[in-house]
Amino acid sequence: MSYIDEIQLLTKRAIEKGDLKEREAERIYEIGLEHPFLVMAEATRIREHFKGKRITLCMIINAKSGLCPEDCKFCAQSAHHMTGIETYPLLSPEEILKEAKKAKEAGAHCFGIVTSGRSVDGEEEWGFILEAVRKISDMGLKVCASLGFLDRQRAEELKKAGLYRYHHNIETARSFFGQICTTHTFDEKIETIRSAKRAGLSVCSGGIIGMGEDVGVRVKMALTLRELGVDSVPINILNPRPGTPLEGLVALRPMEILLSIALFRFLLPSKDIKLCAGRELHLRQLIPLALVAGCSSLMTGDYLTTKGRDPDLDKEMIEDLDLTWNLS
């Protein structure tokens, strides 16, 4: 069997059954090393089969910044690292709503409230979060929240307030997780995702590539996300922040990033694959190829502690590829 026949057969399997195995994913990557544009073209076929030509846009707000007690090696907001970022307490519902309105005007389909820390502190903060969720939901914008660890009761309260989706990254595969964080466990992350799903929330969970892991770890991460049945998979590319333990890591090459995105599309064929932080730094002029490689969603605007990309540039890029970002 030729490599062309092989990759087309794997594409057919991904579309019809969505059950590609670890070794098959590794084989896709092997073919991609020699024929990257063939693999990306097949990833486009899968994306268009499930998602058509629509690319969704989301924006976030860093609603509470810094002083996090967790020791995640990639994170500029960890109190364990001297990164010099701006720190501040939870913003008011009015301040959060103001940014949500800007996101809607910019064409975002979803707006995410993100807070630093292990979880929301106290009833006052929790009340602020619920109020902000209700007000943003009333605007007709899908609301996402990333508030750390969550039990089912709080997940149900968020759902009742109008939350559409809960975000909680697993960050990497179980086999690599201990090299990235020691203050909480992989199982705690899994339980939060399950709590959100039990409450009837859509779930967004992915991670970061380029933290020193190999492609096998990325495949295992994708398979874990498939097993969990998440709906949206954000892919971040490590932007090594000064003061963090990972600041000296060598960056991934653009083609390795694009092939990794394609792998996530093959392994999670019907899910939203969302390209997030790090794309401006690492993909540079090749950002449009991320959509060819299988992304069906973009985080646009600024990230948590770093600048992002102007939403107008993303919308122009999408239109230039004869795709659409429109809300309707």
- Residue 77 near residue 68 (C-beta atoms within 8 A): yes
pLDDT score for 1: 79
Task: State both tokens at 258.
Answer: 């694009």
Residue 5 three-state SS: helix
Euclidean distance between CA atoms 69 and 155, whole angstroms: 22
Euclidean distance between CA atoms 299 and 286, whole angstroms: 16
Domains, the chain, ordered by start? 3-320 (3.20.20.70)
Angle at 244 between CA 241 and CA 245, to 5 degrees: 125
SS3 per residue for 202-263: EEECCEEECCCCCHHHHHHHHHHHHHHCCCEEEEEECCCCCCCCCCCCCCCCHHHHHHHHHH
Euclidean distance between CA atoms 3 and 17, whole angstroms: 21
Q: Over the stretch 114-148, which tens digit does the pLDDT of each residue have?
A: 999 999 988 999 999 999 999 999 998 999 999 99
pLDDT score for 121: 86
Helical ranges in the chain per DSSP H = 3-16, 22-34, 36-51, 93-105, 122-138, 152-161, 174-177, 186-198, 215-228, 254-267, 279-282, 287-292, 311-320
State the pTM of this model.
0.96
Euclidean distance between CA atoms 126 and 132, whole angstroms: 10
In order along its 328 residues, the chain shows pLDDT tens digits of 798 999 999 999 999 999 999 999 999 999 999 999 999 999 999 999 999 999 999 999 999 998 899 999 999 999 999 898 999 999 999 999 999 999 999 999 999 999 999 999 889 999 999 999 999 999 989 999 999 999 999 999 999 999 999 999 999 999 999 999 999 999 999 999 999 999 999 999 999 999 999 999 999 999 999 999 999 999 999 999 999 999 999 999 999 999 999 999 999 999 999 999 999 999 999 999 999 999 999 999 999 888 999 999 999 999 999 999 987 6
Euclidean distance between CA atoms 241 and 239, whole angstroms: 6
Q: Over the stretch 155-170, which tens digit does the pLDDT of each residue have?
A: 999 999 999 999 999 9
pLDDT score for 304: 87
pLDDT score for 328: 60
